[in-house]
Amino acid sequence: MANTQSPDTGIIGIFRHLDTVCTAIEKVRDRPDFAGHEVFSPTSYHEIEHASGFGASPVRAFTLIGALTGTCTGFGLALACDWDWPIVVGGKTAGIASLPAYVVLGFEFTILLGAISTVLGMLVMGRIPNPKRRVLDVRTTDDRFAIFLPGAQLSSPQAQFLRDCGAEEVRNT
Amino acid sequence: MSDDSKLWSKTISDVNSEILVNLENPHPAYYVALALSVSALLVGIVFVALHFTYGLGLWTFRPPVYWEVDITNFVFWVGIGHAGTLISAILFLFRAKWRNTVNRSAEAMTIFAVICALVFPLIHMGRPWHGAIWAVPLPNTNNLWVNFRSPLFWDVMAISTYFTTSLLFWYMGLVPDLASIRDRCKGFKRLIYGIMSFGWRGTAKQWWHYEAGYGFLAALATPLVLSVHSVVSWDFAMSIQPGWHTTIFPPYFVAGAILSGCAMVYNLLLPVRYMFRLEKFILPEHLEACLRLTLLTSTIVFYAYSLEFFVAWYSGNPYEWALFEKRAIGPYSFYFWVMMFCNCIFPLALWSRRVRNNIPVAFVICVLINVGMWFERYNIIVSSLVEDFVPARWGHVQPGLWEIVITLGSFGLFTTFYLVFVKFFPIVSLSEIKLIMPKPLSSKAHGGAHHHG
């Protein structure tokens, strides 16, 4: 039965205060018996990010690659059309691309593809949408913090540890 | 921190419950406003339908002024759309706290204003179904590609990029809030909000990537805000028409756009704050900050108007100077002086703290700024176009019934979209307002803070 268990089954400790949950996160972070735990927060407090020890997010690679692709696409589109059928103005030599005019197109495509790939990066790295996961406690999108440990039991020492860290409630999910 | 706690009478626990409850039960004034907006929209639709049926001859414009009110409205609405991304992106990078209460409203305003702007070139085409072929880079019947050197094409690219990026920015900001609504609903509503929130769970990792991505979107949107109205201004400045062919146009247009956008944010926020009882969340300090930005951009616009006149005189170009003389004391002086008073003179009252804190007076000043900004575009466009290079075509043009009704219709479209939006989505960003409120710390931490403080 164990391998058919939902990834959402386990114990969840609800915290009321930001400083309490940050202290708890720092404690459980490197404990092997808390491997695979998840932290929930109602908004993006930087304290939680620091306590979890996150560095720079890989979303930045998505942004960079998207933006550079956009620059190449914008200039490439204008240059390819220019090469295919030059619009000769004032008798100027065809084949000499008027790059300054294409800066606008290059710029707009940089922003456009950069923005689209950034959003894709946020979704991919955040693992959403994921219909297999469900909401564990509705209060975490309101005003409560939570630490979730998959596969643990309410009677386990981990549950007691969460209580000791200051969880106002520990329950099964 | 101690200042923040004095400012707020609410805690983060009140945010979801109080803001979302009011969504379901707005003040009756909301329904009156919605009915008025929908009526204006319907009248506009009838007039546009007649215009498509009988053609452009119904309008009062005449050659050489082809674009008259259409392009005036286009530039006006794009300008309104500016403050949204300015507030959400540039002020985000500057970490201006007041933006967290008004950014959602401003972003929604951006989206709907850009939609209103996009409607006008389509209306003006007369046969808008052809627009799809003209606007995209496809070879036409002469086997030519679009002219990538044309400012009109740049404009299409700039506006569509701006719209897409603003839409992404706005929607990503909404995702955690949609999850908050989902977690308060049951049944079908829960499913709909759940799908719209992409199944957001609010884990620390999700927030980490979200914050990083949001910052990058802001960084990408910042040059975009400044570029869009610059590109719009090149529609004019790249021509050789006296009154348009000036290098000051890009910064002048950007400042004007931000001025009208900030004034519109104020004008929209006040009724919504009242209808949805958000007085405890959108504080007077936040409204005042918006007025300060309005005042700043108003002074930049004042400077730009003056400089434009100075350069017209100093350049020694008789055609340029004749045009500016005509604007100030000629047949278009009415439009010119409305513009000057509404955009430059009346906003000077905002230097006074008492005026900034007097909500009705500030509201009227912001309405006047929007009137003034509309007149500014009309003034620039019509007074330059009406006397072109063929003196036999010179004459006088002013808006007729058709122009006025379709303009009011666009306001109906804008306010209808906006009012429908505020009914179903939180107009104050739930997750972001929590960030500027006092943090939910334990009594132990509070004691420590006092000790250190």
**What is the SS3 string spanning B142-175?**
CCCCCCCCCHHHHHHHHHHHHHHHHHHHHHHHHH
Q: How far is CA B102 from CA B30, B81, B92, B175, B223, in A?
A: 19, 14, 12, 17, 21
- B350: pLDDT strictly greater than 60: yes
pTM of this structure: 0.91
Average pLDDT over residues B365-387: 92
Among B235, B229, B264, B186, which residue's Cα sits nearest to residue B71?
B235
Tens of pLDDT, residues B10-68: 888 888 888 887 777 889 999 999 999 999 999 999 999 998 888 888 888 777 888 88
Q: Give the count of beta carbons closer than 10 Å to the beta carbon of residue B106.
A: 26
pLDDT number for residue B135: 61
> Is the CB of B12 less than 8 angstroms away from the CB of A44?
no
| pLDDT, chain B, mean | 88
Average pLDDT over residues B336-356: 94
Maximum average pLDDT range among A64-73, B49-58, B199-208: A64-73
Strands A145-150 and A169-172: unpaired
8 A C-beta contact, residue B119 and residue B47 = no
What is this model's ipTM?
A: 0.92
What is the percent of chain B where pLDDT is above 90? 49
User: Among partner residues B195, B434, B441, which is closest to A17 by beta-carbon distance?
Assistant: B441
Chain A hits for B442, Cβ within 8 Å: 16-17, 19-20, 166
Average pLDDT over residues B408-433: 92
> Is the CB of B201 less than 8 angstroms away from the CB of A63?
no
- A92: pLDDT strictly greater than 60: yes
Among B23-27, B177-181, B207-211, B327-331, the range scoring the smallest mean pLDDT is: B23-27
Q: What backbone torsions phi and psi does residue A148 show, to the nearest 5 degrees?
A: -115, 135
For chain B, counts of helices (H) and of strands (E):
19, 0
Chain A hits for B202, Cβ within 8 Å: 40-42, 140-141
Among B219, B267, B268, B225, which residue's Cα sits nearest to residue B83?
B225
Element holding B405 (H helix, E strand): helix B401-424
Structure-token pair, residue B130: 């052809």
In whole angstroms, give the CA distance from residue B378 to residue B342.
Answer: 14
Positive or negative CA dihedral for B413, B419, B422, B428? positive
> Is the CB of B439 less than 8 angstroms away from the CB of A45?
yes
Average pLDDT over residues B74-88: 87
> Is the CB of B183 less than 8 angstroms away from the CB of A138?
yes
- B386: pLDDT strictly greater than 70: yes
Q: How far is CA B243 from CA B172, B397, B410, in A?
A: 41, 17, 27
Residue A10's DSSP bridge partners are: A150
**DSSP class per residue in B28-93:** THHHHHHHHHHHHHHHHHHHHHHHHHH-GGGSS--TT--SHHHHHHHHHHHHHHHHHHIIIIIHHH
Chain B hits for A67, Cβ within 8 Å: 220
> Is the CB of B205 less than 8 angstroms away from the CB of A136?
no
| B145: closest chain A residue by CA | A81
Chain A hits for B212, Cβ within 8 Å: 56-57, 59-60, 122
Q: Which residues contact B182 (CB under 8 A, 6 or more apart)?
A: A135, A141, B190, B193, B194, B197
- Per-residue pLDDT band for B446 (boundaries 50, 70, 90) equals low
Tens of pLDDT, residues B207-238: 999 999 999 999 999 999 899 999 999 999 99
- B448: pLDDT strictly greater than 50: no
| A118: closest chain B residue by CA | B213
Query: Which residue type, as a one-letter code, is found at position A165?
Result: C
Average pLDDT over residues B423-442: 87
- Per-residue pLDDT band for B254 (boundaries 50, 70, 90) equals very high
Tens of pLDDT, residues B140-173: 666 677 788 889 889 989 999 999 999 999 999 9
User: Among partner residues B17, B209, B440, which is closest to A126 by beta-carbon distance?
Assistant: B209
- B453: pLDDT strictly greater than 50: no
Chain B hits for A130, Cβ within 8 Å: 199
> Is the CB of A19 less than 8 angstroms away from the CB of B445?
yes
Chain A hits for B207, Cβ within 8 Å: 41, 43-44, 48-49
8 A C-beta contact, residue B412 and residue B43 = yes
Structure-token pair, residue B217: 């979107």
In whole angstroms, give the CA distance from residue B100 to residue B167.
Answer: 18
- d(CA B234, nearest CA chain A) in Å: 11
Tens of pLDDT, residues B113-135: 999 998 998 888 877 877 766 66
Chain A hits for B157, Cβ within 8 Å: 104-105, 108-109
User: Among partner residues A49, A125, A131, which is closest to B199 by beta-carbon distance?
Assistant: A131
**Cα B358 to chain centroid, rounded:** 23
CB proximity under 8 Å: B 221-280 to A: 221, 223-224, 227, 231
Structure-token pair, residue A167: 């969880």
- B1: pLDDT strictly greater than 50: no
**Cα B129 to chain centroid, rounded:** 27
- Interface contact B206, partner A, CB < 8 A: yes
* DSSP SS3 for B408: helix
> Is the CB of B204 less than 8 angstroms away from the CB of A54?
yes
In whole angstroms, give the CA distance from residue B232 to residue B417.
Answer: 24
pLDDT number for residue B452: 37
Q: Which residues contact B281 (CB under 8 A, 6 or more apart)?
A: B10, B15, B18, B19, B101, B428, B433
pLDDT number for residue B82: 83
